[in-house]
Amino acid sequence: MDLSPSSIAGYTNNASKPFPDAAKMCSHVVITPPILPTPDLANSLSSHFPHLETISIISSTGVYGDHQGRLVNENSETSSAHPLMEIEQSWMDNRPPNVKLRILRSAGIYGPGRSVLTPRTRNKPSTTSRRSSSASSMTITNRIHVHDLARFILKAPATEAPTVDIFNCSDDEPASRFDVLKFVRPETTAAETETSKNPLKLVDNRKMKAAPFALKYNTYREGMQSIEQCLPLN
């Protein structure tokens, strides 16, 4: 099985746009950001990807909504109001016949150019009061390093799983934004962190790790250390 990635950008649920000839050799397709499929799109995928085995949809752990700090796994209750739930269900209903579907619910993605070390977020002034900012900075959130997510995207098609399966993609240690900032900037105070609107939940990643899959960045500490080498903190 060849999992060497290539990009086919700019495609939506408009099935009339032809895919490039290279698509004929693809066995695995990753769709991100997720789009709402139609029966025509499913038929188009089948005809343009004759060797298609697996479709992976990058969704979000945001579909679980607010569980008030409780642990959520792939069977936990989701929020029907979340727009990604309609997309997930539509892909389940419209996936091409005999093609596996992997729904990867990603936690907050961070990495080089997208972290508290990035200048546009690192020095962003607070727009809230000290009290509200301090409270929000302590909100526990879930995250995953972009390299670990990319590695699991390549792993997911090979998993011995049912035709349709869901995986939570998150690291081993949910943490607050304050904890992350405090790790890279020990002088940080809670008042400096920006407001978080994330619901309170802890994401269970045991199914992902049982794939089997080994995280390279098990926590924000390893991840932030790797980023710090690329972007010195001034």
- pLDDT tens, per residue, the chain with 234 residues: 444 555 555 555 555 566 677 778 889 999 998 888 877 887 788 888 889 999 999 999 999 999 988 999 999 999 999 999 999 999 999 888 889 999 999 999 999 888 876 765 444 443 333 333 444 557 889 999 999 999 999 999 888 778 999 999 999 999 988 899 899 888 887 666 665 555 579 999 999 999 999 999 999 999 999 987 764 433
CA–CA separation, 56 and 64 (whole Å): 19
Q: Label residue 52 left, alpha or beta by phi (over 0 means left) and psi (-120 to 50 means alpha).
A: beta
Determine contact, residues 19/43, Cβ cutoff 8 Å. no
